[in-house]
Structure 1
Amino acid sequence: MEFLTLATSSPERRIAVAARPATHATDAPTLVWLGGYRSDMDGTKAIELDHFAEENGIGCVRFDYSGHGKSSGDYRDGTISLWLEEALAVIDHYIKNRIILVGSSLGGWVALRVVEEMKKRGDAGRLAGLVLIAPAPDFTYELIEPALTEAEKTSLAERGYFEEPSEYSADPNVFTRALIEDGRQNRVLDGIIETGCPVHILQGMQDPDVPYSHALKLLNHLPADDVVMTLIRDGDHRLSRPQDIERMLAAVEGMVAE
């Protein structure tokens, strides 16, 4: 593991990165792991993706957003724009060949924004595929804002944030006004999304955080791409069971082979 320092804002951010170079499969795309909200690059799916890369001799890059894992900062100071900037910086610094973006939950949103930014700068040809696991594009606008209670609205107005219990941590999730306002500026479900590469969506139908109807909505915004959606009837949000990992790696393997 090493650190990539970004000094575009104060204080500077130290982004923890684990970069595995390709060994024998040097022509294969590099896998890029984009994690979820309050998760890190040492989670089950990320580690299994790295093991897959090692076994197949292909490159893999994992990193922690600022405020996550081993990176500096507090996740409560983060925004989609900030985490997107970090994802692009890591890709630019560590990867020169084509890439497959593997995004989980929040990482699915970041992946779609990475696609948009790479297309803007004429880099779309480097995109070899997207694997989106319980993707949560626009979750602040589509899922959080419509469900805000009056108490939460008051907290946002008066304190700049609100809290809600987390199923995955003893500490509550904290959603800030800055995150929500920035989320509106990073929406991707407001028009047609054209990635220009294969897309595979894995979605649990028992997901309590991102309902599968949200994945179906994303599908409707991808009419021009080669998209496969796998709905997992008993799947939850994490999709970290052995059978879920197998589905993720099968999707990645199919794109590597193309």
Structure 2
Amino acid sequence: MSTTPAETQITRIEVGRGDRARNIAMRIFRTENPPAQPSGLPALVWLGGYRSDMTGTKAVEVERHARDLGTDCIRFDYSGHGSSTGDYRDGTISQWLEESLAVIDHAALTRMILIGSSMGAWVALRLLQELRARGQADRVSGLVLIAPAPDFTAELIEPNLTDAEKSSLSERGYFEEPSEYSPEPNIFTRALIEDGRNNLVMKGPIETGCPVHILQGMRDPDVPYTHALKLMEHMPADDVVMTLIRDGDHRLSREEDIAKLKQAIDAMLTKA
């Protein structure tokens, strides 16, 4: 799969103060030499998953598609991920949400489509809630959610904790599990789980006020497709489309998966 024609340069912002200060790395693509009548298309904003970064296949292909469409694209790394400072084990949903807000404010985006992968879908939904609380919900023109994992700490981790994992959380403040995507194990902290309870989105109806497209693999070993169906049930009033990919896994990074992602973005843009 091809990469972007020329890698966008990294820029950085500081988020938080004192001991909580984090240096967040971003790649902001702006359309060059805009035509006399700009497309007016919303920017594409990539929100990655747990322990992923902005150099992944899907993130890079989203920027490439933005270039082809003639619109802006923002990719960035949460603290503890990729080129940003910090340790992911110190992160929480609240912290990564704060960074996401800071990035879109720094980029001065007036209209955007949020594209959230796995945990990034949770961040996208919380980001929309925070913008709604500011009276800025109209900045979000649509959501594309890939293998969405909102509330995964409460819905997918806590109910399945073993006695050994519960003991580890109590005694060490974290537990480990093997990762299919890294030689290093995933580490889930008590702080992440406790903070997750303060950021739940599937505790009642979710009002996005914009079109939503969900892409979900039916052979996803990390986030079962039933979780995506449950999420959809919480959006009774919205324009929601779900694409179930029978042989799709959690990554959804194959060429045919990327093609479906681009189709979902294109469909979203027709409604923007």
Instruction: Please classify the TM superposition score into its range, dividing by the shorter chain length.
Output: over 0.9
Aligned residues: 258
* Residue identity matched to 2:170: A
Match of 1:61 in 2: 74
Aligned to 2:174, which of 161, 175, 200?
161
The alignment status of 1:238 with 2:251, answered yes or no, reads yes
CA 47–181 in structure 1, closer or farther in 2 if over 3 Å, else same: same
Instruction: Tell me how far 1:247 sits from its aligned partner.
Output: 0.6
CA deviations on 1:210-233 (whole Å, 9 max, x unpaired) are 000000000000001000000000
Instruction: Tell me how far 1:11 sits from its aligned partner.
Output: 4.2
Normalising to structure 2: TM-score of the pair? 0.93
Instruction: Tell me how far 1:96 sits from its aligned partner.
Output: 2.9
* Residue identity matched to 1:37: Y
What is the SS of the residue equivalent to 1:129? Answer: strand
Match of 1:10 in 2: 19
What is the SS of the residue equivalent to 1:146? Answer: helix
* Structure 1 gaps, min length 5: none
Aligned to 1:176, which of 179, 185, 189?
189
Match of 2:3 in 1: none
Distance in 2, matches of 1:158 and 1:185, equals: 22
Distance in 2, matches of 1:10 and 1:124, equals: 31
* Structure 2 gaps, min length 5: 1-9
Match of 2:137 in 1: 124
Aligned to 1:215, which of 228, 232, 242?
228
Distance in 2, matches of 1:83 and 1:51, equals: 25
Match of 2:29 in 1: 20
- 8 Å CA contact 1:80, 1:186 repeated in 2: yes
Percent same amino acid among aligned pairs?
65
- 8 Å CA contact 1:100, 1:130 repeated in 2: yes
For the aligned residue pairs, the C-alpha RMSD in angstroms reads 0.9
What is the SS of the residue equivalent to 1:157? Answer: helix
Normalising to structure 1: TM-score of the pair? 0.98
Instruction: Tell me how far 1:26 sits from its aligned partner.
Output: 4.6
Alignment of 1:57-96 (within 5 A): 57-96=70-109
CA 101–184 in structure 1, closer or farther in 2 if over 3 Å, else same: same
What is the SS of the residue equivalent to 1:10? Answer: helix
